[in-house]
Amino acid sequence: MKVSTMRKQSATATNPLQSELDVSEPVVEVIEAIERDIIRSRILPHDRLLEDNLMYDYDAKRHVVRAALAELQRLGVVVKPPHLGAYIRRFDEQDLEDLYHMRRVLYRAAVRVMSFPIPPDRLDEVSMAMEAHARAAQTGDLVRIHRTNMTFHRLLYGLCNNPYLAESIRRHDWLSFPARAYGVADVEALDCACREHAAMVEALHDQARDRLEALSLDHMERARSIYEKKFLR
């Protein structure tokens, strides 16, 4: 789909990525288009991202494409080795293990320092984010599914009340996107993710720290398994 068409479809809505990253709307639209094509496997790990091709595919100007690639590089989704152009990050087995080890460390740390009981207003925020992701899962809007998932995680692990830890989790959510992406379009994985989100919210209500920690660690493994089967086996 051309970016100009997507612009018309979302012109009346506030774009959450634009406000979060402080980039212009045209840059947001190209980022979203690349994001969508990664999820759909139209862009695969280590595929070269050629400016001319992206300009044509997304009906975008060169400076917009360059800005989008620069932002994705900052987030860790795109890598630009010297003299080789831009690529989607690809993980070998050791890279993937190192990344997921770090994610497990961060998630476990966040859950362990949460102060129970959770204040009702913040618990409501997490519950509403869970419901928003569940609704998005019914729409087939891949970018919205991914973004609402990240919002749920941001609010959930933000309950640790440590901004440095919460930002590290957010950073690693983006770093892991090239590995997690293929779970977004997988119907079975998405259905499981929705159920697991609901179970996490229930654990918060029950003040069940050990259960929440186990759910948090198990939750990330399905998307990792999809990536391993698709690219490493």
pLDDT tens digit sequence for 93-106: 999 999 999 999 99
Name the nearest CA neighbour of 137 among 202, 77, 75, 198: 198
Residue 6 has pLDDT above 80, yes or no: no
Angle between helices 187-206 and 177-184 (to 10 degrees): 100
DSSP assignment of 29-66 equals HHHHHHHHHHHTTSS-TT-B--HHHHHHHHT--HHHHH
Residue partners of 63: CB distance under 8 A and separation at least 6: none
Between CA 69 and CA 30 the distance in angstroms is 9
For each of the domains in the chain, give its residue range(s) and CATH number, in order of start. 3-88 (1.10.10.10), 93-232 (1.20.120.530)
pLDDT digit string, tens, across residues 167-178: 999 999 999 999
Give the amino acid at 106: L
pLDDT in tens, 141-160: 999 999 999 999 999 999 99
Residue-level pLDDT at 83: 77
- C-beta separation of 34 from 43 below 8 A: yes
Model pLDDT, residue 16: 47
198 burial (CB, 10 Å; 0-12 / 13-18 / 19+) is middle
- Range with lowest mean pLDDT among 20-24, 117-121, 223-227: 20-24
Does the reported pTM lie above 0.75? yes
pLDDT value at position 21?
61
The residues near 179 (Cβ < 8 Å, ≥ 6 apart) are 91, 96, 99, 223, 224, 227
Distance CA 224, CA 216 (A): 14
Whole-number Å distance between alpha carbons of 167 and 156: 12
Give the containing element (helix H, strand E) for 207: none
User: What per-residue string of b and e applies to 166-184 under the rule 16 or more CB within 10 Å gives b?
Assistant: bebbbebbebbbbbbbbbb
- Listed in order, strand segments (DSSP E) in the chain are 78-79, 87-88
State yes or no: pLDDT of 13 exceeds 70.
no
Helix, strand, coil % over all residues of the chain, rounded to 5: 75, 0, 25
> Two tokens at 82?
């010297």
